[in-house]
Amino acid sequence: MREPMLILYDAHCKLCSWSLRWVMRNDVHKRFSFKALQDKDQPLGMSRGGERDDSGEADPPPETVVLIVKGKIYMRSSAVLRIALRLSFPWPLLGIFFLVPTKIRDAAYDLVARNRKQWFGEHRDCYIP
- Residue-wise pLDDT for 50-68, tens only, equals 344 444 544 555 567 899 9
Q: What is the pTM of this model?
A: 0.75
Q: At residue 106, what are phi and psi to the nearest 5 degrees? A: -70, -30
Please report, as a single letter, which amino acid is at residue 41.
D
Do the beta carbons of residue 13 and residue 120 sit within 8 Å? yes
Strand-pairing partners, residue 75, are 66
83 vs 63, which has greater pLDDT?
A: 83
Residue-level pLDDT at 6: 93
Q: Are strands 5-9 and 66-69 parallel, antiparallel or unpaired?
A: antiparallel
